[in-house]
Amino acid sequence: MDLELHGRVVLVVGASSGIGAATARLLCREGAKLALMARRQHELDLMARELRESGAEVIALGGDAGAQGVLDDAVERTVAQFGALHRLVVVAGPMGTRAALHELDDRDWEFYFRQSLMLAVGACRAAIPALLEASDGAIVLTSAFSIRSQKPGLVAYTAMKSAIASVAKNIAKTYGAQGLRANCIAPGVIDRDTGTKRALAEKYGVPEARARYEQVRRESGMSVALERAGRHEEFAGLIAYLLSVRASYVTGVTVNIDGGTDF
């Protein structure tokens, strides 16, 4: 299926690894022009070089998206390079302290506020003026399945992910008449790197394909119908669809992609 993303300019925040890197690779195959942003400059440069060798037009924008002015600068550089911005993807949002509410201090909450919620808010605030100049701008933010399935140790993380889903809904309502769509994905269990999977497989005595799921099943009591973690490419596929004209009547939604998790 042609997603009709050829020539579209996409800014991906959190593009150096994981879901962000998988999304960049998929968008490259779809012919998009890419602005990639991440804190880890070396990994980001490697990703940009890989995609350029595949024929993509790519710029690498290293920097801490949580720092003041960095996202505004990223949008300005993207528009200066490509002449426009049509799509925004935000997958960055590092995990901080996991603990019950009474064990978290203000610094723990501030971390999630800055590095999760305000990172997404800042990216949208910087990008929306440019996106409104496109006839069909689109935003995809990253929430989490835990907003519908609370876990005691993820109270701060989940609170901010819930707020991100709310922000996406508000953007959809506020700017829909101007052609801008905004949606969220809500990932479930995400697969780990090969080394981690191998260690988990040995620990639990299961195949590597099941190892990450086995960890969350035993340690967090989670049930996933497909009995495995989601691959980065699978999350990227949903992001690309939501960015595409195939989803031109989809806005304001938070889409579960969790392999069949019980809420």
Same domain, 50 and 33: yes
Kindly report the CATH number assigned to the domain that includes residue 70. Answer: 3.40.50.720
Q: Report whether 259 contacts 190 (CB < 8 A).
A: no
What confidence score (pLDDT) does residue 263 get?
A: 59
Same domain, 20 and 58: yes
Same domain, 177 and 217: no
What confidence score (pLDDT) does residue 239 get?
A: 98
Reduced to 3 states (helix: H, G, I; strand: E, B; else coil), residue 203 is: helix
Residue 254 covered by a domain: no
Number of domain units in the chain: 2
Residue 66 covered by a domain: yes
Residue 120 covered by a domain: yes
What confidence score (pLDDT) does residue 115 get?
A: 93
Same domain, 115 and 194: no
What confidence score (pLDDT) does residue 165 get?
A: 98
Region at 18 (left for phi over 0; alpha for psi -120 to 50; beta for the rest)? left
C-alpha 212/C-alpha 151 separation (Å) is 17
Same domain, 221 and 124: no
Same domain, 90 and 219: no
Same domain, 202 and 140: no
Residue 257 covered by a domain: no
* Ranges in the chain, pLDDT < 70: 263
The structure's pTM equals: 0.95
Same domain, 105 and 223: no
Same domain, 54 and 131: yes
Same domain, 111 and 208: no
Cα distances from 210 to residues 200, 260, 263, in angstroms, run: 9, 15, 21
Domain that holds residue 224: 190-229
Helix (H) or strand (E) holding 9: strand 9-13
What confidence score (pLDDT) does residue 197 get?
A: 85
Same domain, 81 and 182: yes
Reduced to 3 states (helix: H, G, I; strand: E, B; else coil), residue 71 is: helix
- Residue 80, Cβ neighbours under 10 Å: how many? 9
Same domain, 95 and 209: no
What confidence score (pLDDT) does residue 2 get?
A: 84
